[in-house]
Amino acid sequence: MTPQTVLIVEDAETCASILEIIFSSIHGLKVVTASSGDQAWELLENEHEAVRAIVTDLHMPGMDGFELMDRVRSHQVHRAVPIIVITGCTDEDAPEQARLRGANAVFMKPYSPARVREKLEQLLSDDTSHG
């Protein structure tokens, strides 16, 4: 079985590492990380295996999470990829803005690692059952 690739987009190294640890126990999952929206977009465009889900922060240097979501949702190949947003953004409109831009789930920091993992597994299984 080919591993399913999940892309973590997070500029804070500690946060990215925590997510990698959370997802490492999911069988058949390969985790790829990017520290900015720009780097994530480059990976999406150049990865030979398809990214099956994106877990992103909103505020990063260069291209932020909102712009990344806009690009993903308007791109023919990537538009159906599930997106989970994890943010420490204090702007109360951020979760709604993320959903309007196509986020499948939004978690505010501090978040429950178990709930994020559960949501990712659900999105990946929904994806395979419909594909």
Per-residue pLDDT reduced to its tens digit, 42-95: 999 987 678 999 999 999 989 999 999 999 999 998 999 999 999 998 888 999
pLDDT > 90 fraction of the chain, expressed in percent and rounded: 79
The pLDDT score that the predictor gives to residue 48 is 62
Q: What six digits make up the tokens of 21?
A: 């640890």
Q: Whole-prediction pTM value?
A: 0.93
Delineate the domains of the chain, giving CATH numbers in brackets: 4-125 (3.40.50.2300)
Distance CA 122, CA 61 (A): 30
Q: Which helix (H) or strand (E) holds 29?
A: strand 29-34
pLDDT band at 34 (very low <50, low <70, confident <90, very high): very high
The pLDDT score that the predictor gives to residue 39 is 96
Residue in this structure with the two tokens 């505010």, named with its chain if needed = 108
